[in-house]
Structure 1
Amino acid sequence: MADLANQKRLAAALLKVGVTRVWMDPEKLEDIATAITREDIRGLIEAGTVKRRPKVGISRGRARARDIKRAKGHRKGHGSRRGAAGARAPKKEQWMRKIRAQRKVLREMREEKTIDAHNYRILYRKAKGGEFRNVAHLKSYIAYQKK
């Protein structure tokens, strides 16, 4: 078989791709070997004897499958963790999630007249001070106060 390195290099330059992305028809290697000028290679490209190979991408299929598993709580064990617990779930984000939920419940209770505006203010300040662990704790505190 003839050495087609020069033809491949010329074809790569004409097709504006790397040498590895040049495809040559294995049945017409004799014709390719006789092509020594850029014009000859252009003719082979037009004839379809020399073509540009498609780009090879990296499949996201496995990554998508892994993300679905992680959404269900799988693949999150000790061996998969990078970073401390405080980095994975920062204290501030935990606080924001908790306080927003509590304030939402307090607003709803005030609108439904379950608590009056005065008690709303007091409970709001208590929530801000971190007195309640969660919404359930807040509700149980309000129920206890009503008795």
Structure 2
Amino acid sequence: MDLKTQKRLAANILNCGQNRVWIDPQELSEVSGAITKDDVRRFIVKGFIKAKPKVGASSARAKISREQKKKGRQRGMGKRRGKKTARTGKKVVWMKRIRSIRKDLVMLREKEKVTRKQYAKLYKMAGSGMFKDKANLHLQVTKMKEADIVKEEETVKKQ
């Protein structure tokens, strides 16, 4: 019993695909006699032919994934797509870095490990992107101190 024509007509009437058309299995012989659209409409009204509900994408897997990510899972190197800056922008990284360096600079000034002149110089250097991190800043501070000591020794020798 071929119901291709009936399914095609029903799909047209119900505004759905042929796969979504459901025909009552007990009424197959009766439905197979339908030739025109009017015949098919009659069977739709009787309830012998119906449109199955749309099947959406389940969000269960997405929900599980979201919960795992909350725990910190599924965030390894293998899951990452795109550049490093796709996850955290360059500006955000810069702000984080410069803020920590400047905070450290203020601490050094308050503890009087650097003079006001040195502070101003280091502040400008930090703003220009000279320091990669706080350790780099401290390295520069020690170099400045060593340079100051050498200068003092030279001035003492001249006198």
Specify if TM > 0.5: yes
Give the whole-Å Cα distance in 1 for the aligned partners of 2:54 and 2:90.
Answer: 45
Give the whole-Å Cα distance in 1 for the aligned partners of 2:74 and 2:37.
Answer: 55
| 1:87-127 superposed Cα distances (whole Å, 9 cap, x missing partner) | 32222122345668999x9xxxxxxxxxxxxxxxx99xx49
Residue 94 of structure 1 aligns with an amino acid whose one-letter code is V
Equivalent residue, structure 2, for 1:3 = 2
Give the whole-Å Cα distance in 1 for the aligned partners of 2:45 and 2:8.
Answer: 17
Bigger-Rg structure (1/2): 2
Residue 89 of structure 2 aligns with an amino acid whose one-letter code is P
Q: How many residues align?
A: 117
Equivalent residue, structure 1, for 2:86 = 87
Q: Give 3-state SS (helix, strand or coil) of 2:91's partner.
A: helix
Residue 29 of structure 1 aligns with an amino acid whose one-letter code is L
Equivalent residue, structure 1, for 2:29 = 30
- Cα displacement (A) at 1:68: 1.9
Q: How does 1:107-118 map to 2 (within 5 A)?
A: none
User: Residues 94 and 29 of structure 1: is their aligned pair in 2 closer, same or farther, counting only changes over 3 Å?
Assistant: same
Give the whole-Å Cα distance in 2 for the aligned partners of 1:101 and 1:67.
Answer: 32
5+ residue gaps, structure 2, are 104-118, 135-159
| 1:17-68 superposed Cα distances (whole Å, 9 cap, x missing partner) | 1111100000100110111111111110001000001101101111121122
- Cα displacement (A) at 1:73: 1.4
Question: Which TM-score applies when normalising by structure 2?
Answer: 0.60
Q: How does 1:62-81 map to 2 (within 5 A)?
A: 62-81=61-80
Identical-pair percentage = 43
Equivalent residue, structure 2, for 1:56 = 55
Equivalent residue, structure 1, for 2:145 = none
5+ residue gaps, structure 1, are 106-121, 135-147
Question: Which TM-score applies when normalising by structure 1?
Answer: 0.64
Equivalent residue, structure 2, for 1:39 = 38
Give the whole-Å Cα distance in 2 for the aligned partners of 1:96 and 1:41.
Answer: 68
Q: Give 3-state SS (helix, strand or coil) of 1:34's partner.
A: coil
User: Residues 39 and 102 of structure 1: is their aligned pair in 2 closer, same or farther, counting only changes over 3 Å?
Assistant: farther
